[in-house]
Every structure is written in C-alpha cells, then in structure tokens.
C-alpha cells in the first residue's frame, strides 16, 4: 500500500499519510508525492479544498525520516539529505501559500516534519490526543520546515522556550502558541471530513472552545526565564530559580545539543516577531545543508533514533562553550547552494 494516499472525494482533494507503523514519518518520496498532488489540484476547479490527515491513532506525523538520512551520512553521502530538505521545504512553502483552503487534522504526535506538513495551512485542527513539538535540538538539528517562523511569531518568549526545549503542546497550548486554530473532538473527525468533502467549504468546521493548557499559567515565569537569547544565561537563570518549571527547563537545556540551541536562539533573534515563510526556510536550510558535517546531527540521531542509548557526545560540553564564530558559520549564506523558492 502506498505511503501516502492521494485521491479525490467529492469537492476535496485528499492526502492521507499511510505509514502508521513508522508514526507516519515523512520520507522524501512522500514529500514529492504530496507536492505533485498540490500542483495538480491548484488549478482544478473540481477541487475546492484539500484535506490532509493520517492513518493510525498514535501520530499524524512524528517527523521526517531521519533514520534514512543518518545511514546516508555515515556512508559519507551528504547530498541525499540536502536534496530531501530542499524539496521538503519547497513543499512546506507551497502549503503556506496555497490558493485554496487546506484543512489538516492532526492527532497524536505532530513533530518536526509533521509541523511542516500540518501547521502552515489555512485551517489547522487538533484533538485530545495531539502532541505538537519541535524537538530538533535534542538530536543536534534545529527547528526547520518553517518551524522557526511559527516559533518567532509565538506570543511572549514562548517560541524561544518551545524551540530550545522541544516541549510538547497539547491542543490548548498548540492553539495558544499559533501552531493550530481549532480543537475538534476526534470522534467528530470522520463526519467532519465527509462534510468538508461534500461542501468544499471550511465553514463546516465546528466551533468548540479550546481546552485549557499548561502554558498560559506559566507565561509570566517563562517570559522571565527566557528574557535573553543567550542560552547559557537562560540555563543560569533556570538554575537560580526554585520552581518545578525552572528545574524542568534546566534539565532539558542541560542535555540538548549546545550548538543546536545556540543556533536556534540566533535564528529566532534574526527573524524577529513577524518573519516570512521563505525567509525562515532559507535560514533553516543554511544549517541543515551543513548539518551532517559541522553539527551534532549525526551523533544526536545515533543516540536518540538508531542506538537509543540517549547518551550523545556533543561537540561542546555546555552552552557557554559554543563559540560565536561557529554559530555564524552554521548560518552563513550558502552562495550557489542557497535555498531557492522554486
């Protein structure tokens, strides 16, 4: 059976991820298939909206297929990952700019590549099982697939917190942070899909009050802790506070990749509060293009995904040890290799 099912249903174009056993991890071929479907429906008057969903209860999409990228990297083959990211980012931008309504229904894990697929579209639905996150700093990467755009636009210092820690958001927190629009109980999703396909109108999405989340009550402390873009200063601030939240932040930032966190903070600072999608993707690609040779990505993937020993040997012992020049190198323009929109 195909990894992603593409078909027409009524007035809707349907895209359904179909790798539930792999938590619907997004392969390169899946990205290209989704992009081709979007291109074919763009000027098709019979398709009035697009619906993106996924098989299985555990995940909409838990991320990109980084295990495949790891195996290429350890063999010294760097171009497949660069091609994958280049093409995936192009698909992400098309979703953001698509001229027709796109509705995503995101259950379970929505992480990394899943955020890029489901969180840039016009109508983003989460349910009671949704767990949305950008956990890349834990594997030596940086939030990408346009994730830095969402993080930069999040209220207060919420984006910096989410980007550095990779904290998971339930439905209410995802709506607060700007990663989702609507909470619809998952039992209603089959009927909602039928209504969307029949009407071709996103007005069929029911209005439910968003559930309460954790982050709204933590915002004052979070804003104080993450007042600086200097990761070492954030860790020091967390160590000095006597609260459960500060202890959680300190523990997480002490185990994530120091280089990834330094680059993530710098990327968000450069983007400012209202970045464009292409601007965010271009900056992300500068890091990911270099990731296999100059960052902690390969080692982080080994420790978390391949060997699962959870003991990565990062390039730097702490955030304070990351040279500013190394961050500048990771984010420097790529010249002829710069990511292009088309």
241-300 confidence digits (pLDDT tens): 999 999 999 999 999 999 999 999 999 999 999 999 999 999 999 999 999 999 999 999
The three-point CA angle 169-171-176 to 5° equals 75
pLDDT band at 227 (very low <50, low <70, confident <90, very high): very high
What does the pLDDT read at residue 39? 98
284: left (phi over 0), alpha (psi -120 to 50) or beta: alpha
What does the pLDDT read at residue 56? 97
- The pLDDT of residue 4 is above 70: yes
Nearest to 114 by CA among 96, 132, 140, 87: 132
What does the pLDDT read at residue 341? 86
Q: Active-site positions?
A: 64, 113, 136, 144
Rounded to whole angstroms, the Cα distance separating 38 from 98 reads 8
- The pLDDT of residue 168 is above 90: yes
Rounded to whole angstroms, the Cα distance separating 79 from 57 reads 34
- The pLDDT of residue 223 is above 90: yes
Mean pLDDT of the region 227-231: 97
- The pLDDT of residue 65 is above 90: no
- Out of 61-65, 167-171, 231-235, 260-264, least confident range: 61-65
DSSP 19: -
pLDDT band at 121 (very low <50, low <70, confident <90, very high): very high
By percentage, how much of the chain surpasses pLDDT 70?
Answer: 100
Which residues on neighbouring strands pair with residue 169, listed in sequence order?
132
State the chain's mean pLDDT as an integer.
Answer: 97
pLDDT band at 1 (very low <50, low <70, confident <90, very high): low
What does the pLDDT read at residue 148? 98
Domains of the chain are 1-342 (3.90.226.10)
Rounded to whole angstroms, the Cα distance separating 19 from 134 reads 20
Q: What is the pLDDT of residues 11-31, one digit of tens each?
A: 999 999 999 999 999 999 999
Mean pLDDT of the region 189-193: 98
């Amino acid at each position: 059976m195909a990894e992603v099912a593409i078909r027409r249903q009524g007035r809707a174009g349907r895209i359904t991820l179909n790798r539930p056993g792999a938590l619907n991890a997004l392969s390169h071929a899946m990205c290209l298939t989704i992009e081709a479907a979007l291109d074919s429906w763009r000027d098709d008057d019979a398709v009035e909206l697009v619906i993106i969903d996924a098989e299985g209860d555990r995940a909409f999409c838990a991320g990109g297929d980084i295990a495949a990228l790891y195996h290429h990297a350890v063999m010294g083959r760097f171009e497949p990952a660069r091609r994958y990211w280049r093409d995936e980012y192009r698909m992400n931008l098309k979703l953001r700019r698509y001229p027709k309504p796109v509705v995503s229904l995101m259950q379970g894990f929505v992480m990394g590549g899943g955020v890029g697929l489901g969180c840039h579209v016009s109508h983003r639905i989460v349910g009671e099982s949704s767990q949305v996150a950008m956990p890349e700093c834990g594997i030596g990467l940086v939030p990408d697939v346009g994730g830095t755009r969402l993080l930069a636009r999040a209220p207060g210092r919420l984006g910096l917190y989410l980007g550095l820690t990779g904290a998971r958001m339930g439905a209410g927190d995802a709506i607060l942070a700007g990663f989702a629009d609507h909470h619809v109980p998952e039992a209603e999703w089959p009927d909602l899909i039928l209504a969307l396909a029949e009407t071709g109108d996103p007005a069929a999405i029911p209005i439910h009050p968003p559930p309460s989340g954790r982050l709204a009550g933590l915002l004052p402390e979070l804003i104080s802790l993450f007042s600086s873009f200097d990761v070492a200063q954030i860790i020091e601030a967390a160590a000095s506070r006597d609260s459960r939240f500060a202890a959680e932040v300190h523990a997480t930032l002490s185990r994530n990749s120091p280089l990834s966190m330094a680059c993530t903070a710098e990327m968000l600072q450069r983007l400012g509060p209202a970045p464009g999608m292409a601007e965010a993707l271009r900056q992300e690609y500068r890091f990911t293009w270099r990731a296999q040779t100059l960052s902690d990505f390969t080692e982080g993937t080994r420790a978390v995904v391949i060997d699962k020993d959870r003991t990565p040997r990062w390039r730097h012992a702490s955030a304070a040890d990351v040279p500013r020049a190394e961050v500048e190198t990771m984010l420097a323009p790529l010249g002829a290799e710069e990511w292009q929109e088309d």
